[in-house]
A and B are shown apart, each in its own frame.
Chain A
Amino acid sequence: MKLQKATQFALLAVLELARDPARQLSVSDIADKYGISANHLAKVLRDLGRAGLVEAVRGARGGYRFSGNAKRTSLYDVIDLFGDSVKGEADIPAPAGDTDMGRALGQVLAEVDEIAVATLKSISLATLLKSLVWQPRAAPREPISR
Chain B
Amino acid sequence: MDAVAAIDAAITAHPKPEYWQRAFRRYATRQGRYFLVAESAGTVRGFILGEERAWEFGSPPCGWIFAIGVDPSHREGGLGSRLFDAITTRMRAAGMTTVRTMLARDDALNMAFFRSQGMRGGSFIELEMPLAPPGDDTR
Contacts and interface: CB of A to CB of B under 8 A. Distances in A.
A119 B106 CA distance: 10
Contacts of B10: none
Contacts of B106: 118
A3 interface: no
A125 to B, nearest CB: 11
A123 B108 contact: no
Interface of A: 74, 114-115, 118-119, 121-124, 126-127, 130-131, 134
17 contacts: A114-B105, A118-B105, A118-B108, A121-B111, A121-B112, A122-B111, A122-B112, A123-B115, A124-B112, A124-B115, A126-B116, A127-B112, A127-B115, A127-B116, A130-B116, A130-B118, A134-B118
Contact of B121 (A114, A119, A126, A134): A119
Q: How many interface residues does chain B have, given as a range?
A: under 10
Contacts, number: 28
Nearest to A118: B105
- Judged by DSSP, the binding face of B is helix
Interface string B70-92: 00000000000000000000000
A131 B105 contact: no
Given A118-B105, A118-B111, A121-B108, 12 more contacts: A74-B112, A115-B105, A118-B106, A118-B108, A121-B112, A122-B111, A123-B112, A123-B115, A124-B112, A124-B116, A127-B115, A127-B116
A76 B118 CA distance: 18
Contacts of B111: 118, 121-122
